[in-house]
Amino acid sequence: MLRADVADGAAVAAAVRGMDVVFHCAAKAGIWGALCEYRRVNVLGTRRVLDACLAAGVRRFVHTSSPSVVMDGRDLEGVNESLPYPSSYKANYPRTKAEAEKLALGANSSAIAVVALRPHLIWGPGDNHFLPRLVSRARAGKLRRFSGPPKLVDTTYIDDAARAHLLAADRLRIGSAISGKAYFISQGQPLPLWDIIDRLLATAGVGPLNKQVPPRLAYAAGSLLEIIYTAFACDTEPPITRFLAEELSSAHWFDLSAARRDLGYQPSCTFDEGLKRLTDWLRRDGR
Catalytic center residues? 93
The answer to whether 277 and 271 have CB atoms below 8 angstroms apart is no
C-alpha to C-alpha distance for 213 and 246, rounded to whole angstroms: 13
Q: Give the strand pairing for 113-119 and 181-185.
A: parallel
Closest CA to 58 of 101, 24, 27, 25: 24
Q: Give the strands of the sheet with 152-153, arranged side by side.
A: 76-79, 252-254, 152-153, 191-192
Q: Which residues contact 54 (CB under 8 A, 6 or more apart)?
A: 107, 111, 112
48 class by beta-carbon count within 10 Å (0-12 exposed, 13-18 middle, 19+ buried)? buried
CA 227 to chain CA mean position, Å:
25
* Three-class SS state of 182: strand
**Residue 61 main-chain phi, psi, to 5 deg:** -135, 110
